[in-house]
Amino acid sequence: MSKPNPADRKYSKEHEWAMDEGAGTIRMGITDHAQELLTDIVFVELPAIGKKVKQMEPMAVVESVKSVSDVFSPVSGEVIEVNKELEEHPEVVNEDAFGKGWIAKLKMDDPAELNNLMDAARYTEMIKEEKH
Amino acid sequence: MKKTPLYDRHVALGAKIIDFGGWDMPVQYSNVIEEHHATRTKAGLFDICHMGEIEVKGPQAFELLQWVLSRNIEGQAIGQIKLSVMTNEKGGIIDDVTVYRLGEERYLIVTNAGTKDKDLSWIETQRKARGLARVEVLDNSDRTGKIDLQGPLSEEILQKLASDDLSSLHFYHAEDTRVMKIPALVSRSGYTGENGFEIYTENRRIGEIWDKLLAIGTGLGLKPVGLGARDTLRLEAGMMLYGNDMDETITPLEVVYGWVTNLEKDFVGSTALRKLKEMGLARKLVGFEMEDRGIARHGYKVFKDATEVGVVTSGTYTPTLQKAVGMAFVPVAASRPGTDIFIQIRDHQARARIVELPFYRRQK
């Protein structure tokens, strides 16, 4: 069973989360549900600092033993920090997708884009429906 | 989609199911890394019912097989197994198979799942072309169930159910025995690089053996293992996968099958292969380890001195060695161990080094 989806952040339909950290920045990662589907994560390709991305464009790659999956940016903006820890320990995404397994921080082009994302309740509902 | 007799058990165990050569097969039960480690350190149980079993019997069985197989099977003892390929007239690999000599005039050819029908019609075509009337080619695949039990504890576990003493069964040998009193063919062989067994019995009885092995083995660390870990295990052990690392456009001389190809005898494709050997090979399948970060995957391009020179055929992260490795076709001139190559991973090229196969060899 996946962990509950925290209410302090927003969610994309591609299973990313974005947490508003103030001053027009967010921290993002993939959801616990996503890591559960991927199982054993063995490699994370982080974006370069300064990379500019559009909302829901691929910005990083997560690989399990058998699969390669794009990670989409929940907002448009610029990458200002990445979680270097994941280069040595990609399994942290499996262990703590909502916490220590964060992927990047971005400076948003337009904070209003957060409104395009789901809240925890709706995201929880969506993954419940996917299972049927 | 075809299902093996163990399909419902996989679903009950919570396995993730994928399409493999037209079969609904478990790719993983819990997770690939755990299943991989269980096989290397304890034991793993694999559903291999999807693979093909072709029986060839009669006074001309030897003659037919000597013609369709690249391996010289002269002198193969009853009970002995040999790995071989079948090639077409051009020397391209139709399939890689294991050949069991079961009796004086009786052989069992174990084929890959997706190639069984084509293998069967190929052998039958060659039989007719050679005018061999005193040999039968039978498809036993549907009535044969097969499971593999692999890993250091496999012998201890299987011995609890087998009628005969397994310690006298040598590597790449098979014997008719009973498992839980059910008649079964058991061989010491496999596709993981570990000590282990392949168990063949009637399709409708295979579930009983599967259940019992899990019941007595789970406490010792036995796990059911899906195709995901089967792939990482075979790749670490330097074994190729048909359809991935080779197909009909590739000859055994270019891959790691030169040693099963006997050019002293005549077989389908031998003329073409002798010529190819004489002219010299252009490409060769090699093993490589990633030096830069990243995982090479099937189909990624290989570069040398900024020129595209080859392609990755298999690539993964290996749980035992904890690094990314793979196999690739490269020009013979660049195939020596220690040579650096570059692999295109998405928008960048990552350095890899050619190494000797296998990547992993078990401690005996």
ipTM of the predicted structure?
Answer: 0.89
Residue A27 lies in a domain: yes
Give A64-118 pLDDT, tens digit per residue. 998 999 999 999 999 999 999 999 999 999 999 999 999 999 999 999 999 999 9
- For A43, the closest of B31, B34, B317 (CB atoms) is B317
Q: Which residues contact A115 (CB under 8 A, 6 or more apart)?
A: none
Coil/strand/helix, residue B116 = helix
Per-residue pLDDT band for A1 (boundaries 50, 70, 90) equals low
For chain A, what is the domain count? 1
Band the pLDDT of A131: cuts 50, 70, 90: confident
- Domain of A120, CATH number, reads 2.40.50.100
* Cβ–Cβ gap B28/A39 under 8 Å: yes
Q: Provide the pLDDT for residue A132.
A: 59
Give residue-wise pLDDT tens across range B12-46: 999 999 999 899 999 999 999 999 999 999 999 99
Q: Measured between CA atoms, how close is B237 to chain A, in angstroms?
A: 16
Give pLDDT, residue B208: 98
Residue A81 lies in a domain: yes
User: Residues B321, B322, B326, CA angle at the centre, nearest 5°?
Assistant: 75
Closest partner residue to B317 (CB to CB) among A39, A61, A65 is A65
Report if residue A5 sits inside a domain. Answer: no
Residue A3 inside a domain? The answer is no
Residue A1 lies in a domain: no
State the pLDDT confidence band at B165, using cuts at 50, 70 and 90: very high
Residues contacting residue B293 through CB under 8 Å, at least 6 positions apart: A43, A45, A87, B350
Contact A25, A130 (CB under 8 A): no
Identity (one letter) of the amino acid at B277? Answer: K
Q: Which domain holds residue A25?
A: 10-126
From chain A residues 15-34, the ones with a CB under 8 A of any chain B CB are none
Q: Would the CB atoms of B346 and A45 count as touching at under 8 Å?
A: yes
Q: Domains along chain B?
A: 2-50+142-236 (3.30.1360.120), 52-130 (3.30.70.1400), 258-355 (2.40.30.110)
Do the domain assignments include residue A46? Answer: yes
Query: From CA B292, how far away is CA B59, in angstroms rounded?
Result: 57
Give the CA dihedral B304, B308, B311, B315, nearest 10 degrees: 50
A21: in domain = yes
Residues of A in contact with B293 (CB under 8 A): 43, 45, 87
Of A66, A68, A87, the CB nearest to B32: A66
Q: Is residue A4 part of a domain?
A: no
